């Protein structure tokens, strides 16, 4: 059922929602409250926070939905057909955009037939917030039936300057409040840091600190390279890239500094490097197979999260789902089951 906006004076509604956002500045649920703020103004069915990046596939950060197999197909390959994904990679333009207005022939595309319709999404509004590095945390409102009107889109556009200002202040508070954080500047776990123009670290996520402390030679060499060269991208082992982009001059915590982030290129499924026993692999999604493979190589959750560009909580959720599908409860049982099936093959 479509969620109705809060009744009453529109200005009062915005101020009330904004006050809840202000209360959560610098906190882990800031973007949840920001979704509430725009969701209160426009009737919708689903809301989400999606991180769009020029160097990696989209991250579904706050889905607010059960991640069914339909949405799993988006994360695995349908993201490549997403008009918002192409918009950000092509133009990097911030602001408010409506899905149906971006592609007049959308209804006839494979993306609409095989993803949007099964997911019960007819139209979307995307709010691309100001970028950090090459990525934008993007607020998404979905509607199952009927398009968003121009009046509804205009209502969100009118609020955009406030949304952008709150987002910038949130980032500044993350930097100023504590260096001991597992959140990236975009509000979720990632292998990232902010440095000033003299290459002094201002903020680093725990995942960044962990991978640096591990003494990985490729990572150390890549950091030395970007420190010497400035904005660039340096390849690291296992399909990863260390990307450095410049921060704007008005970014208070590190004016004219840099945003460094390890990104993972979209996986090529045409040539998998290893295979599970068919009796197991047919039960799992490609992403679950990736995680099982890293588990079998002895990688802990934090390493798996860093290598796949996921949050630790997301990896844990995947692991529990894998255990449920295979009717096991521990990693030891996973090893034993794989060994048993390989021995009998």
How much is the pLDDT for 266? 52
Q: Which residue, 213, 193, 214, 215, is CA-closest to 202?
A: 193
All domains of the chain, ordered by start, with CATH?
10-176 (3.30.450.80), 192-264 (no CATH), 278-344 (1.10.10.10)
Q: Are 83 and 106 in contact (CB under 8 A)?
A: yes
343: confidence class by pLDDT, cuts 50, 70, 90: low
- Taking only the tens place, the pLDDT of each residue in 224-256 is 999 998 888 888 877 788 888 887 776 666 778
How much is the pLDDT for 275? 60
- Taking only the tens place, the pLDDT of each residue in 255-289 is 788 888 887 755 443 333 446 788 888 888 888 88
Lowest mean pLDDT among 72-81, 93-102, 299-308: 299-308
Residues, the chain = 345
- Taking only the tens place, the pLDDT of each residue in 1-26 is 344 444 456 667 777 778 889 998 88
**pLDDT-above-90 percentage for the chain:** 26
Query: Does position 154 have pLDDT exceeding 80, yes or no?
Result: yes
**pLDDT-above-70 percentage for the chain:** 84
Lowest mean pLDDT among 133-142, 166-175, 207-216, 248-257: 248-257
- Residue scoring higher pLDDT (185 or 341): 341
Q: Which of 208-222, 239-253, 271-285, 290-304 has the highest mean pLDDT?
A: 208-222
How much is the pLDDT for 269? 36
Lowest mean pLDDT among 73-77, 187-191, 289-293: 187-191
Helices (H), 194-239: 206-213, 217-229
Neighbour order of strands in the sheet with 201-204: 201-204, 192-195, 258-264, 240-246, 232-236
Query: Does position 185 have pLDDT exceeding 60, yes or no?
Result: no
C-alpha to C-alpha distance for 317 and 105, rounded to whole angstroms: 37
- Mean pLDDT for the chain overall: 81
Rg (alpha carbons) of the chain, rounded to whole number:
21
Q: Are 41 and 35 in contact (CB under 8 A)?
A: no
- Residue scoring higher pLDDT (190 or 46): 46
How much is the pLDDT for 2? 47
How much is the pLDDT for 312? 79
Residues of 257-293 as b/e, b for ≥16 C-beta within 10 angstroms? bbbbbbbbeeeeeeeeeeebbeebeeebbebbbbbbb
3-state DSSP assignment of residue 116: helix
139: confidence class by pLDDT, cuts 50, 70, 90: very high
H or E stretch at 62 = strand 59-62
Per-residue pLDDT, averaged over 117-124, amounts to 94
Per-residue pLDDT, averaged over 187-214, amounts to 79
Tokens found for residue 167: 């987002």
| pTM over the 0.85 mark | no
Q: Which of 109-113, 243-247, 306-310, 337-341 has the highest mean pLDDT?
A: 109-113
How much is the pLDDT for 177? 53
């Amino acid at each position: 059922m479509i969620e109705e906006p809060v009744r009453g004076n529109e200005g009062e509604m915005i101020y009330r929602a904004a006050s809840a956002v202000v209360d959560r500045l610098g906190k882990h649920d800031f973007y949840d409250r920001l979704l509430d703020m725009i969701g209160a103004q426009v009737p919708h069915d689903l809301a989400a926070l999606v991180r769009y990046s020029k160097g990696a596939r989209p991250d579904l950060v706050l889905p607010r939905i059960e991640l069914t197999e339909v949405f799993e197909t988006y994360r695995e390959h349908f993201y490549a057909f997403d008009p918002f994904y192409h918009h950000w990679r092509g133009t990097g333009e911030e602001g408010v955009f409506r899905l149906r207005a971006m592609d007049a022939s959308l209804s006839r595309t494979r993306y609409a037939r095989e993803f949007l319709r099964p997911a019960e999404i007819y139209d979307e509004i995307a709010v691309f917030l100001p970028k950090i590095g090459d990525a934008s945390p993007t607020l998404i409102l979905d509607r199952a039936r009927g398009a968003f009107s121009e009046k509804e889109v205009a209502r969100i556009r009118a609020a955009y300057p406030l949304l952008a200002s709150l987002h910038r202040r949130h980032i500044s508070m993350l930097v100023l409040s504590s260096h001991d954080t597992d959140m990236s500047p975009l509000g979720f776990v990632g292998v990232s840091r902010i440095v000033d123009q003299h290459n002094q670290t201002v903020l680093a996520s725990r995942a960044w600190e962990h991978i640096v402390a591990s003494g990985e030679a490729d990572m150390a060499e890549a950091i030395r390279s970007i420190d010497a060269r400035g904005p660039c991208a340096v390849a690291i082992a296992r399909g990863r890239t260390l990307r450095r982009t410049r921060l704007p001059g008005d970014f208070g915590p590190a004016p004219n500094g840099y945003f460094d982030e390890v990104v993972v290129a979209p996986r090529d499924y045409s040539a998998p490097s290893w295979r599970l026993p068919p009796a197991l692999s047919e039960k799992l999604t490609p992403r679950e197979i990736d995680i099982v493979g890293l588990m079998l190589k002895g990688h802990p959750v934090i390493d798996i999260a860093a290598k796949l560009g996921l949050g630790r909580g997301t990896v844990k959720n995947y692991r529990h789902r894998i255990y449920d599908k295979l009717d096991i409860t521990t990693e030891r049982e996973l090893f034993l089951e794989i060994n048993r099936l390989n021995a009998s093959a």
